[in-house]
Amino acid sequence: MSRNGKKPAVSVKLDDKQSERDHRELRIDKVGVRGLRFPIQVRDRTRKVQNTVATLGMFVDLPKEFKGTHMSRFVEVLNAHGNIIHVENITDILQELQEKLHSATSHLEIEFPYFMSKKSPVSRRESLMDYVARFDAAACGRETDFVLTVKVNVTTLCPCSKAISKHGAHNQRGEVTVALRSRKIVWIEEVIEMIEASASSELYALLKRQDEKAVTERAYENPVFVEDLVRNVALRLNAHPQVTWYKVEAENYESIHNHNAYACIERYPEVRIKIKK
Protein backbone atom coordinates (compact mmCIF):
# COMPACT_ATOMS: atom_id res chain seq x y z
CA MET A 1 0.00 0.00 0.00
CA SER A 2 1.39 3.46 -0.96
CA ARG A 3 1.37 6.53 1.28
CA ASN A 4 -1.78 7.89 -0.40
CA GLY A 5 -3.59 4.66 0.33
CA LYS A 6 -3.63 3.36 -3.24
CA LYS A 7 -2.17 0.10 -4.43
CA PRO A 8 0.87 0.50 -6.74
CA ALA A 9 0.27 -0.15 -10.44
CA VAL A 10 1.14 -3.67 -11.48
CA SER A 11 3.12 -4.10 -14.69
CA VAL A 12 1.22 -6.47 -16.97
CA LYS A 13 3.10 -8.40 -19.61
CA LEU A 14 1.29 -8.16 -22.95
CA ASP A 15 1.40 -10.99 -25.44
CA ASP A 16 3.45 -10.34 -28.59
CA LYS A 17 1.36 -12.31 -31.08
CA GLN A 18 3.30 -11.01 -34.11
CA SER A 19 6.52 -12.63 -32.88
CA GLU A 20 4.96 -16.04 -32.42
CA ARG A 21 6.13 -18.80 -34.75
CA ASP A 22 4.09 -19.53 -37.86
CA HIS A 23 4.05 -23.12 -39.12
CA ARG A 24 2.73 -22.63 -42.66
CA GLU A 25 6.27 -22.19 -44.03
CA LEU A 26 5.33 -19.28 -46.34
CA ARG A 27 7.50 -16.17 -46.61
CA ILE A 28 5.61 -12.91 -47.29
CA ASP A 29 7.25 -10.63 -49.88
CA LYS A 30 5.69 -7.34 -48.74
CA VAL A 31 3.75 -6.49 -45.61
CA GLY A 32 3.18 -3.08 -44.06
CA VAL A 33 0.96 -0.02 -44.21
CA ARG A 34 -0.64 1.73 -47.19
CA GLY A 35 -2.77 4.85 -47.62
CA LEU A 36 -0.81 6.90 -45.07
CA ARG A 37 -0.90 10.64 -45.80
CA PHE A 38 2.11 12.74 -44.84
CA PRO A 39 3.71 16.12 -45.80
CA ILE A 40 6.76 15.90 -48.06
CA GLN A 41 9.24 18.25 -49.72
CA VAL A 42 10.47 17.70 -53.27
CA ARG A 43 12.93 19.71 -55.31
CA ASP A 44 12.04 21.11 -58.69
CA ARG A 45 14.43 21.81 -61.54
CA THR A 46 15.19 25.32 -60.34
CA ARG A 47 16.47 23.87 -57.04
CA LYS A 48 13.54 25.33 -55.14
CA VAL A 49 11.59 23.29 -52.61
CA GLN A 50 7.98 22.38 -53.33
CA ASN A 51 5.81 21.40 -50.38
CA THR A 52 3.03 18.90 -51.01
CA VAL A 53 1.14 16.06 -49.33
CA ALA A 54 1.83 12.46 -50.32
CA THR A 55 0.03 9.17 -49.90
CA LEU A 56 2.54 6.60 -48.71
CA GLY A 57 2.99 2.86 -48.57
CA MET A 58 5.74 1.28 -46.42
CA PHE A 59 6.57 -2.42 -46.53
CA VAL A 60 9.13 -5.06 -45.55
CA ASP A 61 9.45 -8.77 -46.18
CA LEU A 62 8.39 -11.21 -43.45
CA PRO A 63 10.36 -14.45 -42.89
CA LYS A 64 8.31 -17.65 -42.96
CA GLU A 65 8.85 -18.36 -39.26
CA PHE A 66 7.12 -15.16 -38.01
CA LYS A 67 3.36 -14.82 -37.68
CA GLY A 68 3.18 -11.07 -38.27
CA THR A 69 5.01 -7.74 -38.40
CA HIS A 70 4.78 -4.79 -36.01
CA MET A 71 2.72 -2.20 -37.93
CA SER A 72 3.33 0.62 -35.44
CA ARG A 73 7.05 0.55 -36.21
CA PHE A 74 6.46 1.78 -39.77
CA VAL A 75 4.88 4.98 -38.48
CA GLU A 76 7.61 5.31 -35.86
CA VAL A 77 10.29 5.24 -38.57
CA LEU A 78 8.40 7.83 -40.61
CA ASN A 79 7.91 10.24 -37.72
CA ALA A 80 11.54 9.87 -36.62
CA HIS A 81 12.43 12.08 -39.61
CA GLY A 82 10.37 15.02 -38.39
CA ASN A 83 7.12 16.54 -39.57
CA ILE A 84 8.12 16.54 -43.26
CA ILE A 85 9.76 13.87 -45.42
CA HIS A 86 12.61 15.16 -47.57
CA VAL A 87 13.13 13.14 -50.75
CA GLU A 88 16.83 12.96 -49.96
CA ASN A 89 15.96 10.85 -46.90
CA ILE A 90 14.36 7.97 -48.81
CA THR A 91 17.45 5.76 -48.59
CA ASP A 92 17.74 6.40 -44.84
CA ILE A 93 14.08 5.48 -44.32
CA LEU A 94 14.53 2.22 -46.24
CA GLN A 95 17.56 1.27 -44.15
CA GLU A 96 15.80 2.09 -40.89
CA LEU A 97 12.80 -0.02 -41.89
CA GLN A 98 15.09 -3.02 -42.38
CA GLU A 99 16.82 -2.44 -39.04
CA LYS A 100 13.72 -1.74 -36.94
CA LEU A 101 11.68 -4.60 -38.39
CA HIS A 102 14.61 -7.05 -38.77
CA SER A 103 13.91 -7.57 -42.48
CA ALA A 104 16.08 -8.27 -45.52
CA THR A 105 14.15 -5.95 -47.86
CA SER A 106 12.16 -2.72 -47.56
CA HIS A 107 9.88 -0.80 -49.89
CA LEU A 108 8.55 2.74 -50.00
CA GLU A 109 5.92 4.15 -52.36
CA ILE A 110 5.19 7.88 -52.39
CA GLU A 111 2.50 9.42 -54.62
CA PHE A 112 1.78 13.13 -54.61
CA PRO A 113 0.37 16.05 -56.64
CA TYR A 114 3.06 18.13 -58.33
CA PHE A 115 2.42 21.68 -59.53
CA MET A 116 3.91 23.70 -62.37
CA SER A 117 3.22 27.28 -63.36
CA LYS A 118 2.16 27.57 -67.03
CA LYS A 119 1.30 30.48 -69.29
CA SER A 120 -1.49 30.23 -71.83
CA PRO A 121 -0.23 30.27 -75.45
CA VAL A 122 -1.62 33.66 -76.60
CA SER A 123 -2.85 35.77 -73.67
CA ARG A 124 0.09 34.57 -71.53
CA ARG A 125 -2.16 34.26 -68.49
CA GLU A 126 -0.34 32.35 -65.77
CA SER A 127 -1.94 29.52 -63.81
CA LEU A 128 -0.96 26.39 -61.90
CA MET A 129 -1.24 22.96 -63.52
CA ASP A 130 -1.30 19.87 -61.33
CA TYR A 131 0.25 16.52 -62.25
CA VAL A 132 0.67 13.21 -60.45
CA ALA A 133 4.17 12.04 -59.53
CA ARG A 134 5.25 8.89 -57.75
CA PHE A 135 8.44 7.46 -56.25
CA ASP A 136 8.83 3.71 -55.82
CA ALA A 137 11.97 2.78 -53.89
CA ALA A 138 13.11 -0.64 -52.74
CA ALA A 139 16.20 -1.77 -50.85
CA CYS A 140 17.78 -5.18 -50.38
CA GLY A 141 20.51 -4.68 -47.83
CA ARG A 142 22.41 -1.63 -49.09
CA GLU A 143 21.32 -2.00 -52.73
CA THR A 144 18.54 0.44 -53.68
CA ASP A 145 16.25 0.55 -56.72
CA PHE A 146 14.38 3.75 -57.58
CA VAL A 147 11.58 4.30 -60.13
CA LEU A 148 10.10 7.69 -60.98
CA THR A 149 6.55 7.72 -62.38
CA VAL A 150 4.78 10.76 -63.82
CA LYS A 151 1.19 10.99 -65.07
CA VAL A 152 0.22 13.75 -67.51
CA ASN A 153 -3.09 14.53 -69.22
CA VAL A 154 -2.95 15.70 -72.85
CA THR A 155 -5.16 16.29 -75.87
CA THR A 156 -5.10 13.91 -78.84
CA LEU A 157 -6.86 14.36 -82.19
CA CYS A 158 -7.61 11.34 -84.37
CA PRO A 159 -5.68 11.29 -87.70
CA CYS A 160 -8.24 8.94 -89.27
CA SER A 161 -11.16 11.15 -88.27
CA LYS A 162 -9.42 14.18 -89.75
CA ALA A 163 -8.67 12.33 -93.01
CA ILE A 164 -12.19 11.05 -93.64
CA SER A 165 -14.39 13.83 -92.25
CA LYS A 166 -15.69 16.72 -94.30
CA HIS A 167 -15.79 18.95 -91.23
CA GLY A 168 -13.60 18.72 -88.13
CA ALA A 169 -12.20 15.66 -86.35
CA HIS A 170 -12.89 14.02 -83.00
CA ASN A 171 -10.46 14.54 -80.16
CA GLN A 172 -10.19 13.39 -76.59
CA ARG A 173 -8.25 13.72 -73.39
CA GLY A 174 -5.47 11.20 -73.01
CA GLU A 175 -3.57 10.13 -69.91
CA VAL A 176 0.11 9.28 -70.35
CA THR A 177 2.03 7.45 -67.64
CA VAL A 178 5.82 7.25 -67.78
CA ALA A 179 7.83 5.14 -65.34
CA LEU A 180 11.62 5.24 -65.60
CA ARG A 181 14.92 4.33 -64.02
CA SER A 182 17.96 6.54 -64.54
CA ARG A 183 21.67 6.80 -63.78
CA LYS A 184 21.32 10.31 -62.40
CA ILE A 185 18.38 12.51 -61.50
CA VAL A 186 15.72 13.12 -64.15
CA TRP A 187 13.54 16.06 -63.20
CA ILE A 188 9.78 15.66 -63.03
CA GLU A 189 9.52 18.73 -65.26
CA GLU A 190 11.62 17.01 -67.94
CA VAL A 191 9.22 14.07 -68.10
CA ILE A 192 6.19 16.39 -68.23
CA GLU A 193 7.71 18.36 -71.11
CA MET A 194 8.54 15.19 -73.08
CA ILE A 195 4.99 13.93 -72.73
CA GLU A 196 3.30 17.22 -73.59
CA ALA A 197 5.51 17.69 -76.66
CA SER A 198 4.44 14.24 -77.91
CA ALA A 199 0.68 14.89 -77.98
CA SER A 200 -1.62 16.86 -80.28
CA SER A 201 -1.67 19.60 -77.65
CA GLU A 202 -0.87 20.12 -73.99
CA LEU A 203 -3.50 21.13 -71.44
CA TYR A 204 -3.80 24.36 -69.49
CA ALA A 205 -5.64 25.31 -66.31
CA LEU A 206 -6.57 28.75 -67.69
CA LEU A 207 -7.51 29.59 -71.28
CA LYS A 208 -9.06 32.77 -72.70
CA ARG A 209 -10.91 32.68 -76.04
CA GLN A 210 -7.83 33.46 -78.11
CA ASP A 211 -5.96 30.72 -76.26
CA GLU A 212 -8.75 28.21 -76.87
CA LYS A 213 -8.61 29.00 -80.59
CA ALA A 214 -4.84 28.45 -80.65
CA VAL A 215 -5.00 25.17 -78.72
CA THR A 216 -7.83 23.81 -80.89
CA GLU A 217 -6.04 24.68 -84.12
CA ARG A 218 -2.74 23.29 -82.87
CA ALA A 219 -4.37 19.96 -82.06
CA TYR A 220 -6.05 19.87 -85.50
CA GLU A 221 -2.72 20.43 -87.24
CA ASN A 222 -0.98 17.79 -85.12
CA PRO A 223 -3.15 14.63 -85.09
CA VAL A 224 -1.83 11.56 -83.24
CA PHE A 225 -3.13 8.06 -82.62
CA VAL A 226 -2.55 6.51 -79.19
CA GLU A 227 0.18 4.50 -80.94
CA ASP A 228 1.84 7.72 -82.13
CA LEU A 229 1.67 9.11 -78.62
CA VAL A 230 3.62 6.30 -76.93
CA ARG A 231 6.14 6.15 -79.79
CA ASN A 232 6.75 9.91 -79.64
CA VAL A 233 7.40 9.75 -75.90
CA ALA A 234 9.61 6.66 -76.29
CA LEU A 235 11.81 8.39 -78.87
CA ARG A 236 12.44 11.24 -76.47
CA LEU A 237 13.26 8.84 -73.66
CA ASN A 238 15.62 6.93 -75.96
CA ALA A 239 17.46 10.17 -76.57
CA HIS A 240 17.82 11.02 -72.87
CA PRO A 241 21.39 10.19 -71.74
CA GLN A 242 20.42 9.24 -68.17
CA VAL A 243 17.42 6.95 -68.74
CA THR A 244 18.23 3.23 -68.41
CA TRP A 245 14.70 1.76 -68.45
CA TYR A 246 11.22 3.07 -69.12
CA LYS A 247 7.60 2.08 -69.53
CA VAL A 248 5.24 4.38 -71.43
CA GLU A 249 1.48 3.88 -71.24
CA ALA A 250 -1.19 5.99 -72.92
CA GLU A 251 -4.95 5.74 -72.57
CA ASN A 252 -7.28 7.87 -74.65
CA TYR A 253 -10.72 8.47 -73.17
CA GLU A 254 -12.58 8.27 -76.47
CA SER A 255 -15.22 10.88 -77.28
CA ILE A 256 -17.12 8.90 -79.96
CA HIS A 257 -16.69 5.34 -78.60
CA ASN A 258 -17.89 3.69 -75.41
CA HIS A 259 -14.39 2.34 -74.74
CA ASN A 260 -10.84 3.66 -74.43
CA ALA A 261 -7.80 3.26 -76.68
CA TYR A 262 -4.59 2.02 -75.03
CA ALA A 263 -0.93 1.49 -75.97
CA CYS A 264 2.24 0.61 -74.09
CA ILE A 265 5.99 0.48 -74.78
CA GLU A 266 8.57 -0.89 -72.32
CA ARG A 267 12.26 -0.66 -73.18
CA TYR A 268 15.84 -0.71 -72.00
CA PRO A 269 17.06 1.95 -74.46
CA GLU A 270 20.33 1.00 -76.15
CA VAL A 271 20.47 3.27 -79.20
CA ARG A 272 20.52 6.99 -78.46
CA ILE A 273 18.58 8.98 -81.05
CA LYS A 274 18.80 12.73 -81.34
CA ILE A 275 15.43 14.49 -81.53
CA LYS A 276 15.18 17.36 -84.00
CA LYS A 277 13.87 20.49 -82.35
231 falls within a domain = yes
pTM: 0.87
Between CA 210 and CA 216, with CA 211 as vertex, the angle to 5 degrees is 100
CATH at 153: 3.10.270.10
CA distance 7 to 56: 45
Are 154 and 196 within 8 A, CB to CB? yes
Res. 91 pLDDT band, cuts 50 70 90: very high
Indicate the number of domains in the chain. Answer: 1
- Domain range for 132 is 28-267
Query: Is 277 among the domain residues?
Result: no
Handedness of CA 140, 97, 109, 240 (dihedral sign): negative
β-bridge mates for residue 176, sequence order: 152, 250
Q: Is residue 185 part of a domain?
A: yes
Categorize the per-residue pLDDT at 276 as very low, low, confident or very high, splitting at 50, 70 and 90.
very low
pLDDT at 270: 62
Type of residue at 26 = L
- Integer-rounded Cα radius of gyration of the chain: 25
- Residue 10: what pLDDT? 60
Residue 95: is it exposed, middle or buried by C-beta count within 10 angstroms (0-12/13-18/19+)?
A: middle
Asked, for residue 15, whether it belongs to a domain, the answer is no
Q: How many alpha carbons lie under 13 Å from residue 270 in its C-beta half-sphere?
A: 0
From 167, 176, 169, 150, select the one nearest 233 (Cα to Cα): 176
Give residue-wise pLDDT tens across range 227-245.
999 999 999 999 999 999 9
Q: How does pLDDT run across 38-63, given as a tens digit for each residue?
A: 999 998 887 788 999 999 999 999 88
Residue 272 lies in a domain: no
